[in-house]
Amino acid sequence: MNSPTAGRRAIASLAALGLLTFSGACSTGTAAHTAAQVSTPSPSRTTGAAARPRVPATWPLSGMPAAAPTTAPALSVKVDNAPGARPQSGLNDADLVFECPVEGGLSRFLAVFHSHSSSKIGPIRSARPVDGALLRALNGGLFAYSGAASGEIAPARAYSKATLISNDADPRPFYRSSARRAPENVYASVASLRGEGGRLGPSRPAPPQLFTFGALTAGATPARSVAVVIGSAARAQWTWVGGSYVRKENGSAHLLADGSQVSAVNVVILRVHVMGSGIRDAAGNEDPFVLAYGNGAMQVFRNGVVEAGTWRRASVAAPFRFVASNGRSLTLAPGRTWVELVPMNGAVSVH
């Protein structure tokens, strides 16, 4: 990536602005936002020896049962999605995956591991400006990547609160596959990256529960599939088959290196604003600055149905709010979730 002085200054300014309240063009409405912040009343205190009911532990990013409450931080890994990066490894071991637009009309993934391990993740590529805000929503945690121009990593350094694990700074937790060509040959495991995170500094907190997991909403609209256009060279389709959504990439089944097809229990579409970064690659394509804070329309696909609503996040220091049209929280099914960050000029087609 080419990183001119103007690009570095632009990203530095945006990094600072990211901590301020965002005032976007798409308003979710005051009533909906207020309803989303209403706390659930605490159970009334009882006299005598009656004990409070035990709440089963769950993994915060997937909603799946856990043996005990976890204190482990999330591990986020930047995985490439350029044609030369496929087939990837490890994506079906993640609890959560964000797909984000990058330069040249392509997309790149931020795969978040928490409840499962993975012996092979990759190919691991460079950071992007959107990572700072997404990592902050996960309480920082650990962030593994390979390469980044100074402007691209600036938001993560400025406000992600993550421990940064860079292949360029220390390649020991990573390895290069002899079966792939550089730069699409950098891999690592959950174990090696967590070990490096522990070596680099104090333990980070566990991630918060990003979503509300709950029962299917009565009367939701049936939706067998959804197609999204992230960029000119990044088009995905998700189809409900046998209890999960399976993914196609640019018209073909999105297969991983082990032969399995990429799948998810939930697919969440967030409409996002995109700004210029001033950073360009060797071909002259500008690296977009995707704003993972602000507000916009959203759709949740689960159990073969779709429910529309709005999302709001006032700043990178604020939590996400996912609100239905009637003001209640949108609910997801327990399991792996993919979040598609679709630019305002992108497209979403539901069938």
**Position 256 pLDDT exceeds 50:** yes
Element housing 78 (H / E): strand 75-80
Report how far residue 87's alpha carbon sits from residue 264's, in angstroms, rounded to the nearest whole number: 17
Model confidence over 21-51: pLDDT tens digits?
Answer: 555 544 333 333 222 332 333 444 444 445 6
Strands (E), 136-290: 142-145, 163-166, 174-176, 186-188, 212-213, 221-222, 225-231, 234-241, 244-249, 252-253, 263-264, 266-272, 274-280, 286-290
Helix (H) / strand (E) element for 100: namely strand 96-101
Between strands 174-176 and 186-188, the pairing is antiparallel
- Reported as a pLDDT band with limits 50, 70 and 90, residue 19 is low
Q: How far is CA 301 from the centre of its chain?
A: 16
> For residue 69, is the peptide bond before it cis, meaning its omega torsion is within 30 degrees of 0?
no
Kindly list the distances between the CA atom of residue 300 and the CA atoms of 64, 81, 323, in Å, as whole numbers in the listed order.
18, 23, 11
Note the pLDDT of residue 228.
98
Cα–Cα distance measured from residue 122 to residue 88, given in angstroms and rounded to the nearest whole number = 6
What is the structure's pLDDT at 11? 58
Q: Which of 39-43, 152-156, 184-188, 300-304 has the lowest mean pLDDT?
A: 39-43
Ranges of H-type helices in the chain: 5-17, 30-36, 131-137, 150-159, 190-200
Domain 210-271+278-350 has CATH 3.40.50.720: no
Which CATH number fits the domain 71-200, given the four candidates 3.30.1300.10, 1.10.520.10, 3.50.90.10, 3.20.20.70? 3.50.90.10
114 backbone dihedrals φ, ψ, rounded to 5°: -145, -55
pLDDT of residue 56: 83
* Mean pLDDT (the chain, rounded): 89
* 21: nearest Cα among 274, 275, 294: 294
Domain ranges of the chain: 71-200, 210-271+278-350
**Is residue 301 pLDDT above 60, yes or no?**
yes
How high is the pLDDT of residue 282?
78
List, in order, residues 6 or more apart from 169 with CB less than 8 Å away. none
| pTM score, whole prediction | 0.89
Domains 71-200 and 210-271+278-350 agree in fold: yes
H or E segment and range at residue 77: strand 75-80
Phi, psi torsion values for 57, nearest 5 degrees? -75, 145
Q: What confidence tens digit (pLDDT) does each residue in 139-173 have?
A: 999 999 999 999 999 999 999 999 999 999 999 99
At residue 231, does pLDDT exceed 80?
A: yes
320-330 pLDDT, tens digit per residue, is: 999 998 899 99
Give me the phi and psi of 251, to 5 degrees please.
95, -10
